[in-house]
Amino acid sequence: MNLKGKTILITGGASGIGLEAARQFLAIGAKVIITGRNQAKLDAAKKAHPALVAIRSDVGNEADAKALFNTVKELGGIDILYNNAAVLVAPSNLGIASDKHAEGAAYEMEVNYIGVIRLINLFLDMLKSRNETAIINTTSILSQAPSLIEATYSSSKTALAFYTTSLREHLKIIGSKVKIVELIPPLVATEMTAERKDKKISPEDMVKGLIKGLSKEQHVIRVGDAKLFNLVNRFLPKTAFKILNPQKDHQLLKK
Ligand SMILES: NC(=O)c1ccc[n+]([C@@H]2O[C@H](COP(=O)([O-])OP(=O)(O)OC[C@H]3O[C@@H](n4cnc5c(N)ncnc54)[C@H](OP(=O)(O)O)[C@@H]3O)[C@@H](O)[C@H]2O)c1
């Protein structure tokens, strides 16, 4: 898929992987609309990249999603819906069998899963009516095997991964040409992973991997170590589980 000339809506595009994607997409010649909850972050992104259209909108809020759809329609619509925004409730706030655990899980599901479905429902007819369109859903290697310290985030991404596969197959059955892409990043150096000391790739390399995958028409784009992890998980699932849940994390679980 060639991104030049396409209009791309990136949720959560004011920082992290989303902002880097906006930067690289603009450089290719795409038009980019970003969303986020924090107006100051959106203003800073717009200042750094004046060609961006920045709209304050919370993926977890139904009224915001509808307003976003109407604004985007007035602006001329989109060719690609890139569902990038997600939340991860810090593991330290998620003691098992506590009210906080359930609250965190509900919040993660609302943004990472329900919110994505809501946007897809709103934008699907628009995408069906145009040529060469796509939906990109961002999951994680944690959607393939569970992380014990990020169990609820991990589960929200698994829900999204299953939904993404189902949507792709459903659209094939009804003869729709909208491409459904699952993006599986490895560990990337962003605010979301700031507390993790493990090996990370840069958002720049992450987005280069995404663009390469799109240019090769891949339906599932695994970037960096996500490729190796997939093989390990397939043939040595116990090893994959141990990679995601090293002994050092067990201390956190005992707290
Ligand atoms: N970093 C990694 O290692 C990694 C690995 C695997 C998968 N991923 C996935 O990759 C995507 C991007 O991650 P990231 O590392 O770039 O995260 P990040 O640094 O935390 O950035 C997330 C962005 O999403 C926005 N956002 C959060 N909640 C939102 C909401 N309800 N509505 C609209 N915008 C919202 C945030 O801005 P505001 O706070 O201003 O709204 C922020 O700009 C996520 O789906 C994440 O799960 C990341």
Q: How many helices (H) and strands (E) does the chain have?
A: 10, 7
Percent of the chain with pLDDT over 90: 87
Query: What letter represents residue 116's amino acid?
Result: V
Does the active-site annotation cover 113?
Answer: no
Mean pLDDT of the 8-19 span: 98
* Percent composition of the chain: helix, strand, coil (DSSP 3-state, to 5): 55, 15, 35
Instruction: Identify the pLDDT of residue 96.
Output: 66
Asked if pLDDT for residue 102 goes beyond 90, the answer is no
Q: Identify the weakest region by mean pLDDT among 95-99, 123-127, 169-173, 238-242.
A: 95-99
Q: What is the pLDDT of residues 177-225, one digit of tens each?
A: 999 999 999 999 999 999 888 899 999 999 999 999 999 999 999 999 9
Does the active-site annotation cover 212?
Answer: no
User: Is the CB of 191 inside a 6 Å radius of any atom of ligand 1?
Assistant: yes
* Pairing between β-strand 31-36 and β-strand 53-56 as defined by DSSP bridges: parallel
Mean pLDDT of the 80-93 span: 88
Tell me the domains of the chain and their CATH numbers: 7-254 (3.40.50.720)
What are the E-state strand segments in the chain?
7-10, 31-36, 53-56, 80-83, 134-138, 179-184, 220-222
Closest CA to 8 of 116, 29, 86: 29
User: Is the CB of 192 inside a 6 Å radius of any atom of ligand 1?
Assistant: yes
Helix (H) / strand (E) containing 49: none
Closest CA to 15 of 47, 53, 42, 49: 42
Catalytic residue among 6, 31, 113, 153: 153
- Residues 206/223, Cβ–Cβ less than 8 Å: yes
Give dist(CA 172, CA 107) in Å, integer. Answer: 31
Ligand 1 atom with minimal separation from the 88 CA: 47
Instruction: Identify the pLDDT of residue 126.
Output: 98
What separation in Å is there between the alpha carbon of 175 and the centre of ligand 1? 32
Closest CA to 8 of 26, 115, 129: 26
Q: How confident is the model at residue 152 (pLDDT cuts 50, 70, 90)?
A: very high
Q: What is the pLDDT of residues 104-134, one digit of tens each?
A: 999 999 999 999 999 999 999 999 999 999 9
Location of structure tokens 């509808």: 66
CA angle 97, 98, 104 (to 5 degrees): 105
Helices (H), 51-202: 62-74, 99-109, 115-128, 151-173
Question: Terminus-to-terminus CA distance in the chain, angstroms?
Answer: 48
Instruction: Identify the pLDDT of residue 63.
Output: 98
Ligand 1 atom with minimal separation from the 139 CA: 7
Asked if pLDDT for residue 97 goes beyond 90, the answer is no
Residues 6+ apart with CB under 8 A from 220: 181, 182, 184
Distances in whole angstroms, Cα of residue 236 to Cα of each of 98, 145, 146, 230: 33, 12, 14, 10
Sign of CA dihedral 94, 100, 102, 106: negative
Instruction: Identify the pLDDT of residue 196.
Output: 84
What separation in Å is there between the alpha carbon of 244 and the centre of ligand 1? 20
Query: What letter represents residue 144's amino acid?
Result: Q
Asked if pLDDT for residue 94 goes beyond 60, the answer is no
